[in-house]
Amino acid sequence: MNGMKLNCSGLGRRDFLQVGLGGLAGLGFSDLLRAQAQGEAGKKKLNCILVWLDGGPSHYESFDPKPDSPKEIRGEFGAIKTSVPGVQFCDKVPNLAKVMDKMTIVRSICHKDPNHGGGNHYLMTGRPTPVPVNCGAFVTFHPSFGSMVSFERGVQQGLPPYMSLGRMSRSGGPNFLGAQHAPFVVKADPQSSSFKVRDVVLPKGISEGRSEDRRVLRAGLDNLLRITEKAAKDPAVDFDQFNAQGVDLVTSKEAQAAFDIAKEDEKVREAYGRNSLGQRLLLARRLVEVGVSFVTVYYGGWDHHRDIFKTLKGDFNSRWDMGLAALINDLDQRGMMEDTMVICLGEFGRTPKVNTRGGRDHWPGAMSVLFAGGGCPRGQVVGATDDKGYYAAENVYSPEDFASSLYLKLGIDPEQILHTETGRPLQLVDGGTRIKELFA
């Protein structure tokens, strides 16, 4: 499995709702740099890896099992102890259970939108959609977290501030911030022996010498153009600037090293899992290590309306459990936890009762979210659902609270006023308060 499945409605041409998205599939690197220049990058700040479980993972079969509930609610799996006394996880996430002492689980985030499109938008932007959105729609009515980080920080050390591995989440776009703040999407599979990142490698057959020759030739032609067209504004000036940055990325040993995952220690690669997801999680660590501010790792296929237990017994779930636990351990061992925050979530939880097809349906009334690093306390469970897991019942938080907390962690004011392309003022997050337990 490649971890990039569609959800219940599928995704056809007519499902794409592009509201100011401006670059749905991400931008080429030179195009991104051209639009993204914002002056000096500023001082080093907290970076973020957001692991997006598209489709809506079950809180029962992950971080909030209910072993004492009737079987039609608790399901087929049991509960296991974690590295924190008194805290239990589902027995199908044994590796994450071992690193519970390095993270916080919030069990009490909830909302009211049961649709994939709306739920995705809410949890990727901190704002509900102003209109109903069907399951499979691509929509961004408001800037995503990654796009907002791009807007605030700009290019960092020659690398895009916002990258997405695998694909871009349907609400991961910039809306009115503009296409320059869309993610740089790496679709290529880092597990493949032929892994290459588009726009970050020289064209086949062109040596560094030939590339340099072409730059000289191009500079001469552009200079001739400027001489002969003095009166006109020359767009080639800006083009040269950003093309040069793109070439710098291609030829820079430091930048290339981040993408050259084959040079990673083999034991480390094995720890993450030699599969597409595991290697994308490893690549995310390498990217934040060299200065990428916000990396989304997309892992789809969580829309388990049928056969949820059969699916979660297999590689689909074990890859996630193994890879994410390895990421947390790796960051901790490298001393990167203080300046890197890992978040893992989807758009909602799953229904309390198992349906007649052996699955669970959409359920925004309760969901669990994982936080690690970035100053989040270790070994902590925040909030709780009721005894059968129907609803968030203690320390209840909203997507607005989640968004406010994320932005505050990243040094971004969630109450700041943005202006749309028409000049309309809009508060970044409307009404959210921080999840105080993440700042203890």
Q: What is the value of pTM for the model shown?
A: 0.83
- Determine contact, residues 350/56, Cβ cutoff 8 Å: yes
Distances (CA, A) of 386 to 347, 351, 352, 365, 394: 20, 13, 11, 11, 8
Which residue, 112, 134, 121, is CA-closest to 16?
A: 134
Domains recognised in the chain with CATH numbers? 14-201+245-439 (3.40.720.10)
Secondary element (H or E) of residue 211: helix 208-228
Q: Which long-range contacts (CB under 8 A, 24 or more apart) does 124-133 make?
A: 124/52, 124/169, 124/171, 124/172, 125/171, 125/403, 126/399, 126/400, 126/402, 126/403, 126/404, 126/406, 126/407, 126/414, 126/428, 126/429, 126/432, 127/399, 127/400, 127/403, 127/429, 127/430, 128/399, 133/17
**Spatial separation of the C-alpha atoms in residues 127 and 117, rounded to whole Å:** 12
pLDDT of residue 134: 66
* CA-closest candidate to residue 77, choices 317, 236, 238, 312: 312
pLDDT the model gives residue 401:
98
Q: Residue 52 contacts by C-beta under 8 Å, 6 or more apart in sequence?
A: 124, 169, 296, 297, 298, 299, 345, 346
pLDDT of residue 38: 36
Mean pLDDT by 10 residues, the chain (440 residues): 53 38 44 40 74 98 98 98 98 98 98 94 94 69 96 82 93 94 93 83 54 54 46 41 50 69 95 98 95 96 98 98 98 97 98 98 98 98 98 98 98 96 94 94
pLDDT (0 to 100) of residue 132: 73
Predicted pLDDT at 188 = 94
Say what the pLDDT of residue 257 is.
77
Classify residue 231 as exposed, middle or buried by CB count within 10 Å of its CB (0-12, 13-18, 19+).
Answer: exposed
Q: What does the DSSP 8-state code read for residue 377?
A: P
| Structure tokens, 123 | 């949890």
**Burial tier of 417 (Cβ tally within 10 Å: 0-12, 13-18, 19+):** exposed
Strand partners, 47: 340
In sequence order, which ranges of 89-155 are alpha helices (DSSP H)? 94-98, 116-125, 145-153
Q: Could you tell me whether strands 417-419 and 384-385 are parallel, antiparallel, or unpaired per DSSP bridges?
A: unpaired
